[in-house]
Amino acid sequence: MNNNIATVISNSSPLMNLAIINKLKLLEQLYHNIIVPKEVWKELVIDGKGKPGADRIQKTQWIHVKSIKNTELFRSLKKDLDTGG
């Protein structure tokens, strides 16, 4: 077991895939806290309502939703990356 407490930022794929196979707890054991942007949470829980794994993700208490603060960087990255929505 990892004794280091870590926080990571995640996109939707690892969360949804692990939730589907009921292994979401692995991320909590490794990282303790996961941060997702609002857009990722929307994709997983709001738009994903009724899809496999969405309810498991919504019930976690260690996945935290945060707003993007560096909007200039976000706009720049958005040109090449999907927002998760």
pTM for this entry: 0.75
The residue assigned the tokens 């720049």 is: 76
Partners of residue 66 on adjacent β-strands = 37
Express each pLDDT in 16-46 by its tens digit: 999 999 999 999 998 888 999 998 999 999 9
- Region 65-76: mean pLDDT is 80
CB 36 within 8 A of CB 10: yes
Nearest to 40 by CA among 22, 17, 65: 65
